Amino acid sequence: MKLKSLFLISFIFVLLSSGFARPKVALVLSGGGAKGLAEIPLLEAIESEGIKPDMVLGTSMGALIGSLYAAGYSPKQIRETLVDMDYIKVLGEHPVSLERVTPDAFSAKGNFSLAVSFSLKRLKIGSAPGIIGDQNIIMELTNHLSRVLAVDDFDKLSIPFRCIATNVSTGEPIVLKSGSIVDAVRASISLPGIFTPAPLDNGVYAMDGGLRNNLPVQLARDMGADIIIAMDVASSVDTNPATLTDMATVAEQIISLIISSNAVEQYHLANIVLKPDLKKFSTADFFHPAEIVAAGEKCIEENRNAIHELALSISKQGYPLAVQDYDRVSDYNKLPDLKIRKIHIKNVSFTDDSPIPNEKDFAKYEGKILDEKTRNKLTRELKEKKKRYHLSNFNYSVEKIEGSDECDLIIKARYYDHNLNKAFFCANPSLSITNYPSQKWASINPATTTGICLVEPINAMLRFSTRNMITVDGSIFPEFAFFHGFKICGELAGEFKYGSLKPEKYFEFNEKLVDSDRGLVAKAGLLLKYSDMLSFRLGLANETDYLVSDEDWFTNTYAYNEIVFTTLHNSFSGLNGFQLESVFNVGKENRDFSEIKLNSSLHVAFEKRFEIQEEKTSIGFGASFSRNRFPYKLNVGYTDFGGIDGMCGYPLSTLKRDFLLSEISIRRKLFSFMGMPFHLVLLGKVGLSDDYDPFCDEAIPSEKFFGNDRQVEAGGGAYAAFATPLGNLVLGYSINTSNKWVITLALK
């Protein structure tokens, strides 16, 4: 009996001893941008040998791949996720969408295609310390790691995980082992000058960990690793001076030297270091993910025997090898999706307050399961509101409710200092081929606006515009009050106009005569503004115009009211939203300084878009109305009835006194090229308008509402729209029941 007890005790002791003696295996993955994709075959190789690491450590791209593996993703899932990812969409994002200048109703002058922000007081250019925004990459990480977002201790992941970042202020390495796994990876990938630095919860700004520790082998040893398997994809420095031909290659060479020095010195601490041949690829070469992975596969094949021998060696030391099914259901997929209990929005910016969305905008998500459908819908809404409120990022994390399958969704809003001066430029030129009598066969509109918008030392704006005339306008906006994102300002403005202030006349062979008319406008009033979504103007104006051809003066004094509300800044790329524009003017005209005449104009337009298929298809409804009784001899006495936004079949600058127009449109996103969407737009319109044409008719138009001959028309059109950095490049054709047609090429 004693012998049996002694044998049992000895057996248990051997088991315990062998358990304590079991070696710990660490997988260490280096940073290297796109070249980090070559590390995926290493995951597949060690699993094929039956090795499951006890810890995963990574830097930069190695941190991204390592986080997925530590969260429970299988190598097959990681390959499919990262090779098929749309890197142009994910990385082709501006760090912040600048607040536009105060919008003007029925005018392109208030918008811009290109802008540079700057501060005179702080002598800085740009509103963000980087050229790539992080909204898309954060949302990709968040959605792929949604089931482990509530894990705030990285030792509690499927495999314990660590990643490395660098403290921007001190240059010290940061070992991230707790908190938000998404924030940790985002910090580790922050390549300086490319990504903006990542703010951590403790107030520290972090940059790419490769600057200090691109291959954290020593850290693995410090964590108790006995066996270390490492791959270094970045320590290959180009020594040929002939290749250093531009600033980009020199910058990459410098970063490679820094990264290589802190990685190579740790090679001796690893049991095996794999170095794939990636000389023909750059850190930014996300255009060839499959080829980079293939280079990693080649490296694995060349070192297959060494990996196998290492597996046999650790097996003899008591490490249990267990080959996992490559096509298995991953540990990550076995985790449940949590149910959203409550939504909270936090402003986590380090700068002054700025307008952010309300929690009630997201209340519809409460009670829903955070599954793929909900995540996709939430991602689109966060991205749309990020642009609308000019945030640098707008993403979410979760806090799990103890003892339940519920969580609170924490939506975090962060922005940079976007309240800066701006120099801006926009172009809205168009070319139309049309059979419309007064403009056939060709109509050209070279519309451009260049300007500067100041917030320091004063709120002011100066613009230079060309269209059917040249205008120079300047305004100052003394600020009276600011509350909850709303600004109340004064508005003192002046504008000088030169060119045809009356409708341009067309003569034989379509020759155009542009007079050297001159006009001066002065305005004084109040402006209520909310970001660039709402502007409400109210005030008094005086306009004095001189028509050269008529040798006549027109002087108008009037009260003006203008309203713009828009969430459709990019009407072709934005698939949902609302826009309202309204102008109401009333005043008196004194042409010869004796006769007094009452003038008025009212123009209202709105459009509402509904998304009917996720980020693909939308349907829109709109209407516009105009009644203009300003002097009929002047351009200001008419409203544009044509163009892409007007009645089908009419070119831009088709002028009418009275019209009523309704429309329905369908927009379908067909594809994206380099992150820029391509849309097909189909539209139908019905309009009632007066029949007076200021280009051709010599008679005086009637002052009655629709007092001239009325015409009812219906029309349809089709447009292709490609969103470019300069604006939407639009090409299309439209026709109406009066057999008027137009082919339009425009930048809108």
E strand or H helix at 181: helix 181-188
Q: How far is CA 126 from the centre of its chain?
A: 16
pLDDT at position 510 is 46
132 pLDDT tier (thresholds 50, 70, 90)? confident
Q: What type of residue sits at position 247?
A: M
- pLDDT tens profile 19-30: 456 899 999 999
Mean pLDDT of 370-376: 93
C-beta of residue 618 within 8 angstroms of C-beta of residue 592: no
Which tokens sit at 559?
């009260």
C-beta of residue 70 within 8 angstroms of C-beta of residue 157: yes
Judged against a pLDDT cut of 90, whether residue 112 lies above it is answered with no
Which tokens sit at 117?
């922000």
Residues 6+ apart with CB under 8 A from 225: 24, 25, 26, 54, 55
Q: What type of residue sits at position 527?
A: L
Residues 6+ apart with CB under 8 A from 668: 616, 617, 679, 680, 681, 682
pLDDT at position 408 is 94
Q: How far is CA 680 from the centre of its chain?
A: 21
Q: How many CA atoms within 13 Å lie on the side-chain side of 691?
A: 7
pLDDT at position 202 is 77
Mean pLDDT of 277-306: 92
* Residue 58 to residue 35: CA distance in whole angstroms: 14
* Residue 106 to residue 624: CA distance in whole angstroms: 11
353 pLDDT tier (thresholds 50, 70, 90)? low
The counts of H helices and E strands in the chain are 13, 36
- 210-219, 318-327, 593-602, range with the lowest pLDDT: 593-602
Mean pLDDT of 331-343: 94
Which tokens sit at 81?
């996720």
Cross-strand bridge partners of residue 643: none
State the pTM of this model: 0.80
3-state secondary structure of 21: helix
pLDDT at position 127 is 63
Judged against a pLDDT cut of 80, whether residue 309 lies above it is answered with yes
Cross-strand bridge partners of residue 431: 444, 745
pLDDT at position 239 is 54
pLDDT at position 248 is 57
* Residue 540 to residue 525: CA distance in whole angstroms: 6
Which pairing describes strands 430-434 and 741-747: parallel, antiparallel, or unpaired? antiparallel
First to last CA, the chain: 94
Nearest by Cα to 58 from 73, 47, 44, 69: 69
15 pLDDT tier (thresholds 50, 70, 90)? very low
* Residue 714 to residue 693: CA distance in whole angstroms: 19
Judged against a pLDDT cut of 90, whether residue 35 lies above it is answered with yes
Mean pLDDT of 273-289: 89
- Give the residue with greater pLDDT, 667 vs 419: 667
The alpha carbon torsion through 415, 419, 422, 426 (nearest 10 deg) reads: 60
Judged against a pLDDT cut of 80, whether residue 577 lies above it is answered with yes
pLDDT at position 723 is 87
Question: Exposure of 291 by Cβ count < 10 A (0-12 exposed, 13-18 middle, 19+ buried)?
Answer: middle
**Count of residues in the chain:** 748
- Checking 329-336 for CB contacts under 8 A at 24+ apart, the result is 330/72, 330/73, 330/74, 330/77, 331/72, 331/158, 332/68, 332/71, 332/72, 332/73, 332/74, 332/77, 332/147, 332/148, 332/158, 333/72, 334/72, 335/72, 335/147, 335/148, 336/147, 336/405
- pLDDT tens profile 44-85: 999 999 999 999 999 999 999 999 999 999 999 999 999 988
247 pLDDT tier (thresholds 50, 70, 90)? low
Beta carbons within 10 angstroms of residue 320's beta carbon: 10
Residues 6+ apart with CB under 8 A from 554: 543, 544, 545, 546, 547, 589, 591, 631, 633, 634
pLDDT at position 460 is 93
The alpha carbon torsion through 369, 371, 374, 380 (nearest 10 deg) reads: 150
- Give the residue with greater pLDDT, 680 vs 88: 680
* Residue 284 to residue 169: CA distance in whole angstroms: 26
> What does the buried/exposed string (b/e) look like for 669-682 if buried means 16 or more CB atoms within 10 Å of the residue's CB?
beeeeeebbbbebe
* Residue 676 to residue 185: CA distance in whole angstroms: 27
pLDDT at position 13 is 42
> What does the buried/exposed string (b/e) look like for 585-594 if buried means 16 or more CB atoms within 10 Å of the residue's CB?
bebebeeeee
* Residue 228 to residue 396: CA distance in whole angstroms: 35
* Residue 387 to residue 377: CA distance in whole angstroms: 16
The secondary structure of residue 739, as a DSSP letter, is S
Residues 6+ apart with CB under 8 A from 262: 210, 212, 213, 214, 215
E strand or H helix at 259: helix 247-264
* Residue 446 to residue 467: CA distance in whole angstroms: 6
E strand or H helix at 642: none
- pLDDT tens profile 385-441: 888 888 888 999 999 998 889 999 999 998 876 678 889 998 888 899 999 887 888
* Residue 553 to residue 215: CA distance in whole angstroms: 78
Q: How many CA atoms within 13 Å lie on the side-chain side of 698?
A: 1
89 pLDDT tier (thresholds 50, 70, 90)? confident
* Residue 268 to residue 603: CA distance in whole angstroms: 76
* Residue 18 to residue 139: CA distance in whole angstroms: 44
Cross-strand bridge partners of residue 175: 164
> DSSP per residue over 87-119, as a string?
HHHHH---S-PPPPPPPPTT-STT--SEEEEEE
Q: How far is CA 688 from the centre of its chain?
A: 39
- Give the residue with greater pLDDT, 51 vs 250: 51
Beta carbons within 10 angstroms of residue 691's beta carbon: 13
Of the chain, the percentage scoring pLDDT greater than 90 comes to 54
The secondary structure of residue 179, as a DSSP letter, is S
Which tokens sit at 267?
């090679």
Tokens 């295609």 found at: 113
Which pairing describes strands 741-747 and 727-736: parallel, antiparallel, or unpaired? antiparallel
Which tokens sit at 656?
């009418």
Q: What type of residue sits at position 47?
A: E
* Residue 528 to residue 423: CA distance in whole angstroms: 23
- pLDDT tens profile 508-549: 334 555 678 999 999 999 999 988 889 999 999 999 999 888
How far is residue 248 from each of residues 15, 196, 282, 288, 536, measured CA to CA in Å?
A: 58, 18, 11, 19, 46
pLDDT at position 126 is 67
Which tokens sit at 126?
């740009």
222 pLDDT tier (thresholds 50, 70, 90)? very high
